[in-house]
């Protein structure tokens, strides 16, 4: 049986032009720039326009990834979109994106794993490549969380931004230095009530009451999520490194989910990782959920921080609760 390896061929990203900074938030909710910076490390976030949906952001990011890749549109075998804020309950945002890209007669589906969505989607893509089913897969992480944000809740409305990141995951050739070394994903559904959107599904369909009570927005128990995120992401890094007989010093770049600067600092402090080897862009974008990691990687590649041959480690934690890591040589 042939054994194939997967690799990241290219990345692309897109964030909407409209920006909402902390001083803007001071005008609409009881908060201050100092309060937000101290607790989250965020200053501004990008906001989708009223007529922009997840597929619009995903399309722009996917196009940029394709433009950076030698892979042609007709060579894409599968589209995976990680999102919890798709255009509709159905059809999938992946199918809408497929139509926009003109990619016919290939499978396309969405995957829901909250902020860990991109990690989950890469794990799925890697397995399809390694078992020989497909050669090139378009993986997108996209969110428009500001459309399900409660702008009266100062604890959550300061956190979220909109954006999309895309990656082309391809079959590696024997001469390629690039390959995905390992992926690991976990979940714990018993603690899902700490981070969820109460209304809008079959459990609590839309009604006048759910709209009036803002139940179609993000609910989060911040203190509990903070502790779980630090513990879970630290463990995800430890386990994938031990599994592959590596140490933190063997990794060139750590790319953590950009949920909160204090979470990132707590993780790298526990692992004794120098901050200058960690990709952090939370000040500019806030928490874009499944889009944070691919956007951060794309930015770092274009800034010539991440170069071909570098060992990178991505790690995330999100609703579900879910968490996971990806170890790769770019």
Q: Which residue out of 22, 46, 95, 257 is catalytically annotated?
A: 257
For residue 45, give the H/E element and its range.
Answer: strand 44-46
Whether residue 272 lies in the annotated active site? no
Whether residue 157 lies in the annotated active site? no
Q: Which residue out of 46, 115, 157, 260 is catalytically annotated?
A: 115
Kindly state the DSSP code that residue 191 receives in the 8-state scheme.
G
- Compute the chain's Rg from CA coordinates: 19
Q: Which residue out of 22, 136, 260, 287 is catalytically annotated?
A: 287
Q: CB of 143 within 8 A of CB of 288?
A: yes
Structure token pair of residue 94: 């992946």
Q: Distance (Å, rounded) from C-alpha 1 to C-alpha 246?
A: 28
Q: Is 38 exposed, middle or buried (0-12, 13-18, 19+ CB in 10 A)?
A: exposed
The H-assigned helical ranges of 7-116 are 22-26, 33-40, 54-67, 93-101
Structure token pair of residue 1: 């049986």
The H-assigned helical ranges of the chain are 22-26, 33-40, 54-67, 93-101, 117-130, 208-212, 222-243, 261-271, 282-285, 292-302
Whether residue 179 lies in the annotated active site? no
Residues acting as catalytic residues: 115, 257, 287
């Amino acid at each position: 049986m042939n054994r194939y390896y997967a690799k990241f061929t290219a990345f692309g990203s897109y964030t909407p032009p409209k920006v909402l900074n902390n001083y803007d938030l001071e005008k609409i909710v009881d908060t201050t720039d100092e309060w937000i910076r101290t607790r989250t490390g965020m200053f501004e976030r990008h906001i989708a326009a009223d007529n922009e949906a997840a597929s619009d952001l995903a399309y722009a990011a996917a196009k940029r990834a394709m433009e950076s890749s030698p892979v042609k549109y007709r060579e894409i075998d599968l589209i995976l979109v990680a999102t919890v804020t798709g255009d509709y309950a159905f059809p999938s945002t992946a199918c809408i994106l497929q139509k926009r890209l003109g990619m016919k007669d290939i499978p396309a589906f969405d995957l829901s794993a909250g902020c860990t969505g991109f990690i989950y989607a890469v794990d799925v893509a890697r397995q399809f490549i390694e078992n020989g089913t497909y050669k090139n897969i378009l993986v997108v992480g996209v969110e428009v969380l500001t459309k399900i944000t409660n702008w009266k809740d100062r604890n959550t409305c300061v956190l979220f931004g909109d954006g999309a990141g895309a990656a082309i995951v391809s079959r590696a050739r024997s001469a390629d230095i690039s390959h995905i070394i390992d992926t690991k994903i976990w979940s714990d559904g018993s603690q899902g009530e700490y981070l969820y959107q109460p209304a809008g599904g079959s459990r609590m369909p839309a009604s006048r009451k759910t709209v009036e009570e803002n139940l179609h927005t993000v609910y989060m128990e911040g203190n509990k999520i903070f502790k779980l995120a630090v513990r879970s992401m630290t463990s995800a890094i430890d386990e994938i490194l031990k599994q592959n007989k590596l140490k933190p010093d063997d990794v060139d770049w750590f790319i953590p989910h950009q949920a909160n600067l204090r979470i990132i600092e707590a993780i790298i402090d526990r692992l004794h990782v120098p901050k200058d080897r960690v990709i952090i862009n939370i000040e500019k974008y806030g928490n874009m959920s499944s889009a944070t990691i691919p956007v951060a990687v794309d930015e770092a590649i274009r800034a010539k921080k991440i170069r071909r041959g570098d060992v990178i480690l991505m790690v995330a934690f999100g609703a579900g609760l879910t968490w996971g890591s990806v170890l790769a040589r770019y």
